[in-house]
Amino acid sequence: MPLVGEYEPSPWEPIAEQVELYERTDGAEGAVLEGAPCIILTSMGAKSGKLRKTPLIRITDGTSYLVIGSMGGAPNNPSWVHNLRTNPRAELRDLGEVREYSVRELEGDEKAEWWARANEVWPSYDDYQAATDRVIPVFLLEPV
């Protein structure tokens, strides 16, 4: 069942603008984030219940997607991490397609395998982990 609710754009203007551009053009524009392909993650706000949309680096095996709560190695997780932990359902927009996914946080060998795949797409993830004391969370999104 698709996520339903009122969409509240990010208060951080560059994020809100990229989401708007990506969605308005079905990914013809705005589908690159800092030089890498991206997707738009839609999650349900854990406190607000509003829909939140975030552009993230596109990491996929062709069926499932990985989203990484790196926030560039910041000391705190991005807000969407709490949203996914509270409501483990999400939607992803990958170019013109929007699909629903179940979400689970990865650990152990499975996390290590996907982390290696993520570093092939965006080699800075290891640097981000080295820059913070927190363990960067990794979520696998599998089609519903």
Domain presence at residue 36:
yes
CATH code for position 100: 2.30.110.10
The CA-atom distances, in angstroms, between 107 and each of 136, 138, 139 are 11, 8, 9
Domain presence at residue 111:
yes
Token pair listed for 132: 């913070």
DSSP 8-state code for residue 88: -
How far is 89 from 103, CA to CA, in rounded Å? 6
Domain presence at residue 2:
no
Question: How confident is the model at residue 2, as a pLDDT?
Answer: 86
Token pair listed for 32: 């690159």
Question: How confident is the model at residue 56, as a pLDDT?
Answer: 98
Q: Which helix (DSSP H) or strand (DSSP E) does residue 44 occupy?
A: strand 36-44
Q: 57 and 113 in contact (C-beta within 8 Å)?
A: no
Question: How confident is the model at residue 95, as a pLDDT?
Answer: 87
* 102 φ/ψ angles, rounded to the nearest 5 degrees: -90, 150
Domain presence at residue 7:
no
Domain presence at residue 31:
yes
Q: 54 and 22 in contact (C-beta within 8 Å)?
A: no
Q: What is the pLDDT of residues 17-31, one digit of tens each?
A: 999 999 999 999 999
User: How many domains does the structure of the chain reveal?
Assistant: 1
Domain presence at residue 104:
yes
The CA-atom distances, in angstroms, between 114 and each of 13, 14, 16, 53 are 30, 28, 28, 23
How far is 44 from 26, CA to CA, in rounded Å? 21
Domain presence at residue 94:
yes
Q: What is the pLDDT of residues 91-121, one digit of tens each?
A: 999 988 999 999 999 999 999 999 999 999 9
Structural domain boundaries, residue 85: 13-143
State pTM to two decimals. Answer: 0.96
Question: Has residue 65 got a pLDDT over 90?
Answer: yes
Domain presence at residue 98:
yes
Would you say how long the chain is, in residues? Answer: 144
Question: How confident is the model at residue 1, as a pLDDT?
Answer: 78
Nearest to 70 by CA among 129, 133, 139: 129
